[in-house]
Amino acid sequence: MARMKYLHIIVIITFTKYKKDTVPPSAGWEKNERQRLGSRQVNLSTSMNPVHLAETAVGLNLKLMKWRLAPEIDLESLETMRCLLLGAGTLGCNVARCLMAWGVKHITFVDNSRISYSNPVRQTLFTFQDSCENRPKAQAAADALKAIYPGIKSTGYDLTIPMPGHAVGESTIEKVKEDVNFLHDLIRQHDVLFLLTDSRES
């Protein structure tokens, strides 16, 4: 049986008559924010902003953690909680990473040490380059948190924490008083304090 091929097709379109009063309103230019007729524009830049995408992804992950692990946790309280970490060494670096993982966005470091070559392998916020530059630990830790997650607010203070019971020389009395007052103000400005120094007094 031979197959027939149709090379042409005829379509019949019939237009019905209409009345002027039955024509639906047509769409066209709309008034913009200046109350002038013009094209409408939608700004989608935020949906392609890496910082915004990171914030969204982190937020969704925290909600998943709450749903599966800790339904009673208050994520909004964690987000606004201000944490002060006394010490930016091995303990300080790892506590800061854990706080950030649970949604804490306000972290302040206090430390007077500088990064040595033995630190980066144990203190997870530092790199070999930091030790080459002998950077202050507190500021380097704060910068590292912001590099990991730009949505965090972190500050570092290169400050000596006076130890109770230690002798204070006459030449350093004023400096110690100044440090104590500054530390006292920092503690009052934060909600949670972590004592993470590695001295015997701690």
Domain ranges across the chain: 75-195
Question: Which of 22-31, 48-57, 193-202 has the weakest average pLDDT?
Answer: 22-31
Q: Nearest 10 degrees: CA dihedral of 94, 96, 98, 102?
A: 180
Q: Give the pLDDT band of residue 3 (cuts 50, 70, 90).
A: low
For residue 1, pLDDT over 60 is answered with no
d(Cα 193, Cα 177) in Å, to the nearest integer?
20
Contacts of 74 (CB under 8 A, 6+ apart): none
CATH of domain 75-195: 3.40.50.720
Q: Which of 48, 102, 51 is nearest to 74 (CA)?
A: 102
- pTM to 2 decimals? 0.75
Helices 137-148, 90-101: crossing angle, 10 deg rounding: 30
Give the residue with greater pLDDT, 198 vs 182: 182
Q: What is the pLDDT of residues 98-131, one digit of tens each?
A: 999 999 999 999 999 999 999 999 999 999 999 9
Specify the pLDDT at position 162.
Answer: 82
